[in-house]
Amino acid sequence: MVQSFLSEPAAEAGVAARLFRAMRSGAWLDRRRIFAYGAILLVLEVVAFLFFVAGTHGLIVATTEPTTTDFVSFYAAGDLANAGTSHLAYDQTAHWAAEERATEPGIRYQFFYYPPVYLLLCALLARLPYLAAFVLFEGASLALFLAVARHILAARGWRVTVPLLAFPAVFWTLGLGQNAFLTAALLGGAILLVERRPFVAGLLFGALCYKPHFGLLVPVALAVGGHWRAFAGAALSSIGLVAASLAFFGLDTWRDFITIAVTSPGTYENGRIQLAGIISPFAALRVIGIGTSLAYLLQLAATLAAALFVAYVWRQRVSLPVRAAALIAATLVAVPVMLLYDLMLALLATTWLVRAARRTGFLPWEKMTFVVLFLAALVTLSTGRYLHLPLALIGDVALLAVIAVRALAEIGQRQPLAVPVS
C-alpha cells in the first residue's frame, strides 16, 4: 500500500509530462483529426447559428423588438446613394430612416463610418431586394475568401474547407452581416501576388481603401521590402477609387464623411459597441479596467511596435509565408478599431503559417497556438464581458510570437526546431 501511495505522484508526473510534450509538439493533431474535429465543430456551430437566427427573429419565443444586422447599414447607405442623396449616408437621422425602410420600423441603429469609396459597392447591392443583396454579398465574399485560402494552402479537394468554415469568426461575420470575408480576401490575394504580379497585387492592396485602417501597415511592408511596383499599383488603385467616388457622389459626400469620421471614436468609447467585442489592445486594456487616455497611449505604442516588427521582417530575406503572416497578424494589433469578426485575419495568417510548416515542419507550440486562436474566436466575447479576459488579443500575441521565432530562424539561416508535418 505504501509503495502504491508513493508511486501515485510519480504516475501523475508522468502523465503531466506526456501531456506537456503532446501539447508542445502538436503531433497528435494530424490531418485526419483536424478534419474530424473541424467537422464536429462546424456541425455544432451551424446548429447554434440556426438556433440564434430563429431566436432573434421570434421563431422560438416572441421578441420585444425587431432585429437586424450590420448589413442593413451598408444597404441603406447604398439606397441613399442610388436616390442621389449619398451625403445622407452620414446623416444618422436620414440613414436610420433608410435602414427602417429596408427592414422594419424600430430596429436598432447601425452606424455607417465607411468612406464614400464603399458606397460604390453598397449602391450596387442596394439595387437588389434586401435579402437577396445580403445573401449575394456574404456568399460571394465567403467564396472569394475560401478561394484565396485554398490557394495559399495549395489544397486540392474539398476537405480543407471544413476547418476553414469551422473557424468561429466565419459565423460572427455571417451573423452580423459584415465584410470581413472581403477584407481578408483582398489582403490575402494581394500578398499571394506581390512577388509574381506585383502591380496587380498593388491594385488589390489599394482596394482596401474602402476600410483604410486595415491597410495601415501595407505601405510599411511594401516600402521596406522594395516592392515599388506593388506600391505604385496600390496608389493608383486607391486614387482611382477615390476619384470614382468623387465623380459619382461629389465632394459634399466626402466632406460629410470626414465630419462624422472625426466623431466616430466616441461610439467605441461610450459602450455603444461592446468593448468585449473589440479585439484591439485599446479595447483589451479598457476591458481590464485601464482608463481611456492610458489605453490610447498604450495602443499607440502597440501600433508603433507592430509597424517596426513588419518593417524588420519585410526588410529581411525571409519567406513570403512568414512575411505574409507577420503583416496580417501585426495588423490585428496595430489597428485600434478591430472587431470580433475581423479575426478572419487571424485565420488568414494561420493559413500562411501552415504553408510555411509544409516546408520546415511545425514549430513547438505552433499547432496549440492555432487551437487557442480557434477557442479565442469562439469565446472571447463571453470571457471579455464576464471575466474581463481579452482572449482574442492573447491569441494574436501568441501568433506573433510564433511568427517572430520563424522569422528569426530564417534570418539566422538555420532551420527552425520543428516536428514532422502530419
Condensed to tens digits (0 to 9), the pLDDT of residues 300-336 reads 999 999 999 999 999 997 999 999 999 999 999 999 9
Q: What is the pLDDT of residue 12?
A: 65
Cβ-Cβ contacts under 8 Å for 46 (sequence gap 6 or more): none
Residue-wise pLDDT for 258-271, tens only, equals: 999 988 887 777 66
Cα within 13 Å of Cα(339), Cβ side = 16
Q: What is the pLDDT of residue 9?
A: 63
* Cβ–Cβ < 8 Å for 330, 311: no
pTM: 0.91
Percent residues over pLDDT 70 in the chain: 92
* pLDDT-based confidence at residue 24 (cuts at 50, 70, 90): confident
Q: What is the pLDDT of residue 6?
A: 46
Q: Which residues of 132-157 are buried (b: 16+ CB within 10 A; e: fewer)?
A: ebbeebbeebbebbbebbbebeebee
Q: Mean pLDDT, to the nearest integer, of 201-226?
A: 96
| pLDDT exceeds 60 at position 4 | no
Residue-wise pLDDT for 167-179, tens only, equals: 999 999 999 999 9
Q: Among 27-31, 86-90, 276-280, where is mean pLDDT lowest? A: 27-31
| pLDDT exceeds 70 at position 421 | no
